[in-house]
């Protein structure tokens, strides 16, 4: 049985009375999870959903998300998860492109999904945050539809730097294998674990490493619909969370929480960071403040997502993304696809059980991304003598200043070392002679002070003369994507930099 939802049935058979999902006072056991998901599967069938159909989901991290997700899989559908903040026009694009038969949305925020479904001419359904079965449940056949390893389980839309979003087609084998490797070799989870569910489940990091790996372990996933540093710390203390997974901005928010010392976080045994590079200073500060280890890894929507990690029982190298996980190969290549020389910067290429089937309905884009069986990530890295990879930067975000390559990550790391800096984003701005000039937007920690001249001088002392940012300006906060990842491309330039 290749269906990813088999994991839920297996765990419920072993640990049916244990808590599976929690959101504040609402708790669902594994038996309850399985039964409600089976009801949703029956309800979807009654609405005409057949094996291979696509079902859109516009849900935040509420109890109904895992239930609808596994219910759709049980019905044999492929799930198209969407960010609840999307506008109707954006939802409409996803529904049209994926050919979805139905979209399920949270009742309180269903307007965009309902409007989009009407525009496309497909059915829509709403669920409340806690009991998806109340409106979507059906009676009758709640059995698991058999699926092939290579059938799509999820179509996850990913925004490139050009063109409309593309749907990464992740198979049952992709997601099942990545969840199992995450669970067995990284989390080493047990039914006694409580996993913090603050990573968006509509994003593959949260979906695989929190939900699917948690189900395999028989662990409890405690959900936080909208991330807030103080609320996250209070949930860790209340629920005795053992595994925290987040993106660097989440770690930073908890670290800079003014009253962090009043929360008991002694239950934490493992923290996992991904989504973007973790500044070394943030990692060091977090580990000192909270007394736990942070393991940094790397992956993409197209790789289900985990590709490499600092493994629990190997040497941990802060500032690196570790080594490839089980079942995955990684190498560094030049623009022609040839291996780069040891120590040189190259583009990460990935091959393995985690690599997507392709971009939904886009064979040319798929061939471009996976020209020879190796997925081209667009990320630049170096590999050290021990085989550890360190991200240098996004290939497309590299700044070329007067013929010299400047990697934004390096400049940001230098800024993060300044005691007043909370967040930093380094970008290239047009320059008439040099092509591009280095610029940086900086958000300061609460109550801290530093002016742009001081920050510019700080970086100048730490990097080569051609690298330091000639333009530095202060902002209240930096633009972030749905997972909390800082979006360099969305940073607004002040007037004096634009002219």
Per-residue pLDDT of 59-76, as tens digits, reads 999 999 999 999 999 999
- Mean residue pLDDT of the chain comes to 94
Q: Following CA atoms 337, 343, 347, 349 in sequence, which dihedral angle do they give, to the nearest 10 degrees?
A: 70
Beta 471-474 vs 435-444: how paired, if at all?
parallel
End-to-end CA distance of the chain: 61
pLDDT-derived band at 141 (thresholds 50, 70, 90) equals low
pLDDT at 119 (0 to 100): 98
Beta 270-273 vs 243-246: how paired, if at all?
parallel
pLDDT-derived band at 420 (thresholds 50, 70, 90) equals very high
SS3 per-residue string spanning the chain:
CCCCCHHHHHHHHHHCCCEEEEECCEEEEHHHHHHHHHHHHHHHHHCCCCCCCEEEEECCCCCHHHHHHHHHHHCCCEEEEECCCCCHHHHHHHHHHHCCCEEEEEHHHCHHHHHHHHHHCCEEEEECCCCCHHHHCCCCCCCCCCCCCCCEEEEEEECCCCCCCEEEEEEHHHHHHHHHHHHHHHHCCCCCCEEEECCCCCCHHHHHHHHHHHHHHCCEEEECCCCCHHHHHHHHHHHCCCEEEECHHHHHHHHCCCCHHHCCCCCCCEEEECCCCCCHHHHHHHHHHHCCCEEEEEECHHHCCEEEECCCCCCCCCCCCEEECCCEEEEEECCCCCECCCCCCEEEEEEECCCCCEECCCHHHHHHHCCCCCEEEEEEEEECCCCCEEEEEEHHHCEEECCEEECHHHHHHHHHCCCCEEEEEEEEEEECCCEEEEEEEEEECCCCCCCHHHHHHHHHCCCCCCCCCCEEEECCCCCECCCCCECHHHCCCCHHHHC
Beta 294-299 vs 270-273: how paired, if at all?
parallel
- Mean pLDDT of all residues in 98-118: 97
Sequence-distant (≥ 6) Cβ neighbours of residue 288 within 8 angstroms? none
Distance CA 102, CA 360 (A): 17
pLDDT in tens, 375-386: 999 999 999 999
pLDDT at 87 (0 to 100): 87
Higher pLDDT, 230 or 432: 230
pLDDT at 162 (0 to 100): 53
pLDDT at 499 (0 to 100): 63
pLDDT at 429 (0 to 100): 93
pLDDT-derived band at 158 (thresholds 50, 70, 90) equals confident
| Spacing of C-alpha 2 from chain mean position | 24
CB 445 within 8 A of CB 464: no
- Mean pLDDT of all residues in 297-309: 96
Beta 54-58 vs 26-29: how paired, if at all?
unpaired
The pTM assigned to this predicted structure is: 0.89
Check whether 305 has a pLDDT greater than 80. Answer: yes
pLDDT-derived band at 329 (thresholds 50, 70, 90) equals very high
Check whether 30 has a pLDDT greater than 90. Answer: yes
pLDDT at 389 (0 to 100): 97
Q: Which of 84-93, 216-225, 396-405 has the lowest mean pLDDT?
A: 396-405
Cα angle vertex 388, ends 387, 392, to 5°?
A: 125
pLDDT-derived band at 402 (thresholds 50, 70, 90) equals confident
CB 57 within 8 A of CB 69: yes
Question: Which residue from 259, 251, 338 is spatially nearest to 286, judged by alpha carbons?
Answer: 251
- Mean pLDDT of all residues in 47-57: 97
Distance CA 90, CA 84 (A): 11
Residue 101: phi and psi, rounded to 5, are -85, -25
The number of residues making up the chain comes to 499
pLDDT at 466 (0 to 100): 86
Check whether 161 has a pLDDT greater than 80. Answer: no
Domains of the chain: 4-290 (3.40.50.12780), 399-497 (3.30.300.30)
pLDDT at 69 (0 to 100): 98
DSSP per-residue codes, 300-366: -GGGSSEEEE--TTS---TTS-BEEPTTEEEEEE-TTSPBPPTTS-EEEEEEETTS-SEETT-HHHH
- Mean pLDDT of all residues in 132-153: 90
Distance CA 178, CA 175 (A): 5
Check whether 159 has a pLDDT greater than 70. Answer: no
Question: How far, CA to CA in Å, does 205 sit from each of 108, 255, 398?
Answer: 25, 21, 25
Sequence-distant (≥ 6) Cβ neighbours of residue 369 within 8 angstroms? 302, 359, 375, 376
């Amino acid at each position: 049985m290749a269906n990813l939802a088999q994991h839920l049935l297996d765990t419920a058979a072993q640990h049916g009375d244990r808590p599976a999902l929690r959101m504040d006072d609402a708790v669902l056991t594994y038996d309850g999870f399985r039964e409600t998901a089976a009801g949703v599967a029956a309800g979807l069938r009654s609405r005409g959903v057949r094996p291979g159909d696509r079902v859109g989901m516009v849900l935040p991290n509420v109890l109904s998300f895992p239930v609808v997700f596994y219910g759709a899989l049980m019905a044999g559908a492929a799930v198209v998860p969407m960010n609840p903040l999307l506008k109707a026009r954006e939802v409409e694009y996803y529904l049209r492109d994926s050919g979805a038969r139905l979209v399920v949305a949270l009742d309180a925020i269903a307007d965009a999904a309902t409007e989009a479904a009407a525009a496309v001419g497909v059915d829509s359904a709403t669920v409340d945050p806690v009991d998806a079965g109340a409106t979507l449940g059906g009676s009758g056949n709640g059995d698991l539809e058999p699926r092939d390893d290579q059938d799509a389980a999820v179509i996850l839309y990913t925004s490139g730097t050009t063109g409309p979003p593309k749907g990464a087609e992740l198979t049952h084998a992709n997601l099942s294998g990545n969840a199992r490797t995450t669970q067995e070799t990284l989390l080493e989870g047990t039914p006694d674990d409580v996993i913090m569910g603050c990573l968006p489940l509509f994003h593959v990091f949260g979906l695989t490493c929190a939900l699917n790996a948690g189900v395999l372990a028989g662990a409890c996933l405690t959900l936080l619909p909208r991330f807030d540093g103080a609320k996250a710390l209070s949930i860790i203390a209340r629920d005795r969370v053992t595994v925290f997974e987040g993106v660097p901005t989440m770690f930073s928010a908890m670290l800079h929480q003014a009253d962090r010392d009043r929360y008991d976080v002694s239950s934490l045994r493992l923290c996992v960071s991904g989504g973007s590079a973790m500044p070394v200073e943030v990692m060091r500060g977090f580990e000192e403040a909270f007394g736990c280890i942070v393991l940094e890894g790397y992956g993409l929507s197209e790789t289900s997502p985990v590709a490499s990690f600092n493994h629990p029982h190997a040497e941990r190298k802060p500032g690196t993304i570790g080594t490839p996980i089980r079942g995955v190969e990684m190498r560094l290549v030049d623009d022609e696809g040839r291996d780069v020389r040891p120590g040189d910067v190259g583009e990460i290429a990935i091959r393995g059980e985690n690599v997507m089937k392709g971009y939904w309905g886009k064979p040319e884009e798929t061939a471009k991304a996976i020209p020879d069986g190796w997925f081209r990530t667009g990320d630049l890295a170096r590999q050290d003598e021990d085989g550890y990879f360190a991200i240098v930067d996004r290939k497309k975000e590299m700044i070329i200043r007067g013929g010299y390559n400047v990697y934004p990550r390096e400049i940001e790391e230098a800024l993060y070392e300044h005691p007043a800096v909370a967040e930093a984003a380094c970008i290239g701005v047009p320059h008439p002679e040099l092509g591009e000039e280095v610029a940086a937007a900086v958000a300061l920690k609460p109550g801290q002070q530093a002016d742009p001249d001081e920050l510019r001088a700080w970086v100048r002392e730490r990097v080569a003369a051609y690298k330091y940012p000639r333009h530095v300006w202060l902002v209240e906060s930096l633009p972030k994507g749905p997972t909390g990842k800082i979006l360099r491309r969305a940073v607004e330039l002040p007037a004096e930099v634009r002219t």
